[in-house]
C-alpha cells in the first residue's frame, strides 16, 4: 500500500513539474501533430531534429512512464520502453507503433480544412498528419500507461513498448534496430500488437452495428525492377523497337495478367464470424464458404475497394527513361510493387512475372524482401485479450479477424513473437479511411479517448497471466 501511495505521489509531482504538458489527451495529440516528424523516401531530406524534439515532447508529457519504465533510445530516435512484470517466468507482450508520418503532397496543402501540421482541435475532431497514422497509436499507449502507473498498477506479465521512427520508409533503421536490440536482451513475446485494424462504424454488411477488425495477418511487400536495354542514338534514325517500347509492352502484359483471386484464411474467417450477424443471402453464402469461396473471391475482385483482400496486387509505380526529346535512350527502367496474399511467396511472384513478360531483353531484379509475418491464432490468448478490451468499450461491436492489406513494422518482429496482431482501437467511418496518407486526416476526440480506454484494457489484460 505504501509503495502504491508513493507511486501516485511521484506521478503527481512529475506531472506538476512538466508544466508544459497539455491539458487533455486530445490537446496532447494536437501538440504532437505540430512536430513534423516526416519520413521522406530520400533520407537526406529528413529533419532528424524534429524526431529528437518529438521524443522530448513524449518525455515531458508522460513523465511517469519515462521515470518508471526502463527506457532506451535505439539507433538515435527509436524508443524501447520495458515495464518488467512481477513474474519473470511469463513471456512478455509487445505493443508497437511508429513516430514518423508521411509527407503532404506538395500543392495539396490548401485542400486541407486545417493546415496539416497545425494540430487543430475543433468540432469534436483532432486534425492533422499522424492523427490516424500513427501518432494516435504512440500517444494512445502512453496515455494508457501513464494512467495505470498513476493508479499504482503493477503488471504480473512484462509489457514492452517499441516505437520505430521510419516505418513509412521500410523500418530498416527503426523497427529493425529495435528488433535487434530486443534479441540482444533475450526477449521473446507471447504475442504482439501493432497498428492496423480499426472499428468501422458504417460497414454495409452490419446495419447499425460497429465492426471491430483485428488483423491476424498482413500482406507481404515486394518491388521488382524491370530494365530494358538496347540501341540508342539520334531520334531521326530510331531502332525498330526502342527500350521504352519494349519495357512498355512488358508492363502492359503485367497489368493485363493480374494474379488470380482467392479467399485466404484471414478473410474467410472474417466472413464466417460475420455470418450470424448478416441477413440473407449473405448469411447462407458466408456459412458455406467451402462451396461459395470462389463466388465471394470473384465478386470482391471486381470491386476496387475489396479487391486487395483477395488478390496479390500489382501496381506500376515508377518509370524512368530518356534525357532529351531527340535522343533515343539505351536504357529504360520501371518499378512494379506487389502486395502479396498470405501463401504467395516472393519467388513465386518473380517466376510468374518472368513468364508473363517472356522477353529475354527485359531484366527482372529485386533489391530485397522482408520477413513474412504468418497468420496469428484466432483462438490464442492475444486475440482473446484484444477482443475483451474492445468489448469493454464497445459492448455492441462485432469483433472479427481480418487481413491488413498494407504492410507494417510487424515484419521486423516476426521471430520475436509467437503471434502478431494489428489493431488500432480507433473508430471511424469508411469514408474517413481515405484520409490516411491523404488530405484532411483526422480522428474524432471521442474515438481517440475510447482508443485509449481500449489500449488500457489491452495492457491490463496482457499483463495478467
Reported as type and span, the H/E element at residue 384 is: helix 381-393
Contacts of 368 (CB under 8 A, 6+ apart): none
Nearest to 227 by CA among 407, 382, 366: 366
Dist. CA 241–CA 157, nearest whole Å: 65
Q: Which residues of 219-246 are buried (b: 16+ CB within 10 A; e: fewer)?
A: bbbbebebbbbbebeeeeeeeeebbbeb
Helix, coil or strand: residue 78: strand
Q: Which of 31, 134, 143, 167 is catalytic?
A: 167
Is residue 167 among the annotated active site residues? yes
Q: Tell me if 210 sits within 8 A of 201, measured CB to CB.
A: yes
Dist. CA 362–CA 226, nearest whole Å: 6
Is residue 100 among the annotated active site residues? yes
Nearest to 117 by CA among 171, 20, 50: 50
Q: Are strands 442-444 and 70-74 parallel, antiparallel or unpaired?
A: unpaired
Per the listing, cell 530498416 goes with 172
Q: Tell me if 447 sits within 8 A of 219, measured CB to CB.
A: no
Q: Which of 100, 143, 195, 409 is catalytic?
A: 100
| CA–CA distances in Å: residue 465 to residues 86, 92, 155, 156, 186 | 11, 10, 9, 7, 20
Q: What residues are annotated to the active site? A: 100, 167
Amino acid at each position: 500500500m505504501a509503495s502504491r501511495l508513493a507511486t501516485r505521489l511521484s506521478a503527481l509531482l512529475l506531472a506538476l513539474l512538466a508544466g508544459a504538458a497539455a491539458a487533455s489527451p486530445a490537446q496532447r495529440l494536437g501538440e504532437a501533430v505540430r512536430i513534423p516528424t516526416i519520413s521522406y523516401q530520400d533520407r537526406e531530406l529528413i529533419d532528424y531534429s524534429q524526431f529528437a524534439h518529438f521524443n522530448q515532447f513524449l518525455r515531458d508529457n508522460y513523465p511517469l512512464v519515462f521515470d518508471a519504465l526502463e527506457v532506451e533510445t535505439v539507433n538515435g530516435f527509436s524508443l524501447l520502453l520495458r515495464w518488467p512484470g512481477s513474474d519473470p517466468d511469463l513471456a512478455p507482450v509487445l505493443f508497437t507503433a511508429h513516430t514518423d508520418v508521411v509527407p503532404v503532397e506538395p500543392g495539396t496543402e490548401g485542400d486541407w480544412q486545417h493546415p496539416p501540421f497545425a494540430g487543430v482541435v475543433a468540432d469534436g475532431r483532432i486534425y492533422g498528419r499522424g492523427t490516424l497514422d500513427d501518432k494516435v497509436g504512440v500517444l494512445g499507449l502512453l496515455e494508457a500507461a501513464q494512467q495505470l502507473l498513476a493508479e499504482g498498477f503493477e503488471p504480473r506479465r512484462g509489457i514492452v513498448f517499441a516505437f520505430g521512427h521510419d516505418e513509412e520508409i521500410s523500418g530498416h533503421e527503426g523497427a529493425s534496430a529495435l528488433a535487434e536490440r530486443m534479441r540482444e536482451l533475450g526477449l521473446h513475446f507471447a504475442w504482439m500488437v501493432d497498428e492496423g485494424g480499426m472499428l468501422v462504424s458504417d460497414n454495409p454488411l452490419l446495419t447499425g452495428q460497429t465492426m471491430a477488425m483485428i488483423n491476424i495477418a498482413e500482406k507481404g511487400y515486394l518491388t521488382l525492377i524491370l530494365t530494358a536495354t538496347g540501341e540508342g542514338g539520334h531520334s531521326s534514325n530510331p531502332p525498330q523497337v526502342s527500350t521504352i517500347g519494349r519495357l512498355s509492352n512488358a508492363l502492359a502484359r503485367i497489368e493485363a495478367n493480374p494474379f488470380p483471386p482467392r479467399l485466404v484464411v484471414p478473410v474467410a474467417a472474417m466472413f464466417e464470424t460475420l455470418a450470424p450477424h448478416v441477413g440473407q443471402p449473405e448469411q447462407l453464402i458466408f456459412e458455406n464458404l467451402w462451396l461459395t469461396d470462389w463466388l465471394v473471391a470473384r465478386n470482391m475482385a471486381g470491386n476496387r475497394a475489396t479487391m486487395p483482400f483477395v488478390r496479390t496486387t500489382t501496381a506500376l509505380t515508377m518509370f524512368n527513361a530518356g534525357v532529351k526529346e531527340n535522343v533515343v535512350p539505351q536504357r529504360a527502367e520501371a518499378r512494379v510493387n506487389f502486395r502479396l496474399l498470405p501463401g504467395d511467396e516472393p519467388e513465386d511472384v518473380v517466376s510468374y512475372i518472368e513468364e508473363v513478360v517472356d522477353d529475354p531483353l527485359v531484366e527482372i531484379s529485386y533489391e530485397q524482401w522482408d520477413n513474412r509475418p504468418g497468420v496469428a491464432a484466432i483462438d490464442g490468448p492475444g486475440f482473446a485479450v484484444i477482443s475483451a478490451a474492445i468489448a469493454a468499450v464497445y459492448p455492441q461491436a462485432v469483433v472479427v479477424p481480418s487481413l491488413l492489406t498494407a504492410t507494417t513494422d510487424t515484419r521486423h518482429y516476426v521471430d520475436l513473437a509467437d503471434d502478431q496482431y494489428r489493431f488500432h482501437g480507433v473508430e471511424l467511418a469508411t469514408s474517413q479511411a481515405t484520409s490516411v496518407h491523404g488530405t484532411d486526416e483526422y480522428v474524432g476526440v471521442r474515438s481517440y479517448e475510447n482508443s485509449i480506454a481500449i489500449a488500457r484494457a489491452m495492457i491490463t489484460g496482457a499483463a495478467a497471466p
